Chains A and B, each alone.
Chain A
Amino acid sequence: MQLDPRYEDRLIAAQARALAAAGSIAAAKARLEATIRDFEAVGPNGVPIAALYETVAEIALLETDTSTFQRALEEVKRIYSRGKHPGLVARYERLVATGRRQLSQWSGSGLVRNDVHERMLTVTQVRSGIGPARSDEQFRQLLGIVLDEAAAASGYLYQLSSVTRCGSSHSAEPRRSIQRSS
């Protein structure tokens, strides 16, 4: 089946995931590489191509290919992090977390060298050190979704580890009893 990569990047990514899930990892990688080449030849440099790299990274994790995973992760980070969009930052963070989990398992089983695992941790630390502004945006976005789902007019969001208020839908302080119970 031939799909036009200019229009069907998401379908191709889904196709590659399915091929990989079915055990045809080489075919999945070939399909993605060809699509990324086509995309880069045309020149767009946005979220669609980063999503293809995200799929490359996920598939690389399936076959313990740490170097491909690192390379793809860098591309994902470059595009997903630059505009500070909370949804994209969350997707990048999820990929990093999956990679860390996988790499921890591989380190334990001796499949990868420890320095690869350390590099992976460093990537996460760099991301975390970007600054509090992004966290605020993410917490605001998260609080908005919670309030929206609960049909509530206002609310507060607490980070339990440090008992600090991360977000508020309005300027008033919560009741003391709520503050203590947090």
Chain B
Amino acid sequence: MLAREVRRRFDVRGCFFLEPRQALVRRLSEPVAGMDPITQNGAYSLSSFYIQLELASRGSEGGLGTAEELEAAPMYATLGKQLRLVAALSQGDFEGTRRAREERELLSLQSTFTDQHRETSVRWEAVAIYRAADLLGLKQLIQAQTARAARFPGAQPLLHMLRAQYLLLAAEPERSLAEVHAGRALAPPLTHACGRELARVETQARLALDRVAKPVRVRIALKRSFEACSSTRATRTD
């Protein structure tokens, strides 16, 4: 019922769910009348995971308590490692990243229960990898997502986003822009969670291309990108 209420109030794709999720976790940390403990624990664990994933990707160091809670439950242990991976990447911790990635891969062989959430969280992982300028990490994500996108067309915008990030890091802004446009064609603004990241990559690719161009061209390109990604209130994701 609580989840339905949240969904009713924020029933729009691409909305930031951090604050509503935090309110939800506060409610779920106490017994809820009419909700069985297994459902409550599941909702609590998954909501905590996404909150800390968002905070960790911004460089927050406070999510390790949640990672420990998730790792203590065999069903959610993979998500705990995924959270540690994003946190380590956002802190620039190379050894921590390597360890978390290895442990996550091992755990994912043991249980497929949270595979869907792990795949959903690739978006946060990709941003953290991109920030860390980790070409090899992005290449690995692209390989995994290529197979997934072949089976699920809905994953194709994410694949284009990853390729656009990779090409931008590899100093190929022209090809990166082509991937952005391919992603945009499949997922126009406000229809897909990758929209915000596609807009960011587009902005940076245009900057890279227009570095020596006349300032007015930079302004026009930027104005278009910003209009595309912030045509609505700032808390929307695209």
Q: Interface of A with B (CB < 8 Å)?
A: 1-4, 6-11, 14-15, 17-18, 21-23, 43-51, 79-80, 82-88, 90-91, 137, 141, 144-145, 148
Whether A82 contacts B136 in the complex (CB less than 8 A), given A4-B235, A44-B61, A48-B58, comes out as no
**Chain B 204-219 interface mask (CB, 8 Å, partner A; 1/0):** 1001001100011011
Q: Is B36 an interface residue (CB 8 A)?
A: no
Interface residues of B in 51-96 (CB under 8 A from A): 55, 57-61, 88-96
- Asked whether A14 lies within 8 Å of B133 as measured between CB atoms, the reply is no
| A149 CA / B69 CA spacing, docked (Å) | 39
Whether A14 contacts B204 in the complex (CB less than 8 A), given A6-B58, A80-B92, comes out as yes
- Asked whether B61 lies within 8 Å of A47 as measured between CB atoms, the reply is no
Whether A21 contacts B235 in the complex (CB less than 8 A), given A10-B200, A11-B229, A14-B204, comes out as no
Whether A87 contacts B134 in the complex (CB less than 8 A), given A11-B203, A15-B222, comes out as yes
Q: Is B234 an interface residue (CB 8 A)?
A: yes
Which residues of chain A have C-beta atoms less than 8 A from B204's C-beta? 10, 14
| A15 CA / B203 CA spacing, docked (Å) | 8
- Asked whether B59 lies within 8 Å of A49 as measured between CB atoms, the reply is yes
Whether A86 contacts B94 in the complex (CB less than 8 A), given A18-B219, A91-B133, comes out as yes
How large, as a class, is the contact surface on chain B? 35 or more
Q: How many A-B residue pairs have CB under 8 A?
A: 123
- Asked whether B60 lies within 8 Å of A46 as measured between CB atoms, the reply is yes
| A148 CA / B94 CA spacing, docked (Å) | 20
| A23 CA / B214 CA spacing, docked (Å) | 11
| A21 CA / B61 CA spacing, docked (Å) | 34
Q: Interface of B with A (CB < 8 Å)?
A: 16, 55, 57-61, 88-97, 128, 131-136, 139, 196, 199-200, 203-204, 207, 210-211, 215-216, 218-219, 221-222, 226, 229-230, 234-235, 237
The closest CB in chain A to the CB of B16 belongs to A7
* A interface SS class: helix
- Asked whether B218 lies within 8 Å of A18 as measured between CB atoms, the reply is yes
B81 to chain A minimum Cβ distance, whole angstroms, is 18
The closest CB in chain A to the CB of B137 belongs to A87
- Asked whether B219 lies within 8 Å of A22 as measured between CB atoms, the reply is yes
B147 to chain A minimum Cβ distance, whole angstroms, is 17
- Asked whether B226 lies within 8 Å of A1 as measured between CB atoms, the reply is yes
B130 to chain A minimum Cβ distance, whole angstroms, is 9
| Residue contacts A-B, CB under 8 angstroms, 23 given | A1-B226, A4-B235, A15-B226, A18-B219, A18-B221, A22-B219, A23-B215, A44-B60, A44-B61, A46-B61, A47-B91, A47-B131, A49-B59, A51-B131, A82-B91, A83-B92, A83-B95, A85-B94, A87-B133, A91-B133, A144-B136, A145-B135, A148-B139
| A148 CA / B137 CA spacing, docked (Å) | 12
Q: A22-B215, A80-B92 are in contact. List 15 more A-B contacts (CB 8 A).
A: A2-B234, A11-B226, A14-B204, A14-B207, A15-B203, A21-B207, A22-B219, A46-B92, A47-B91, A47-B128, A47-B131, A84-B92, A84-B94, A87-B132, A90-B133
Which residues of chain B have C-beta atoms less than 8 A from A45's C-beta? 59, 61
- Asked whether B135 lies within 8 Å of A87 as measured between CB atoms, the reply is yes
A34 to chain B minimum Cβ distance, whole angstroms, is 14
- Asked whether B90 lies within 8 Å of A8 as measured between CB atoms, the reply is no
Which residues of chain A have C-beta atoms less than 8 A from B55's C-beta? 44
The closest CB in chain A to the CB of B132 belongs to A87
A59 to chain B minimum Cβ distance, whole angstroms, is 13
- Asked whether A22 lies within 8 Å of B235 as measured between CB atoms, the reply is no
The closest CB in chain A to the CB of B235 belongs to A4
B134 to chain A minimum Cβ distance, whole angstroms, is 5
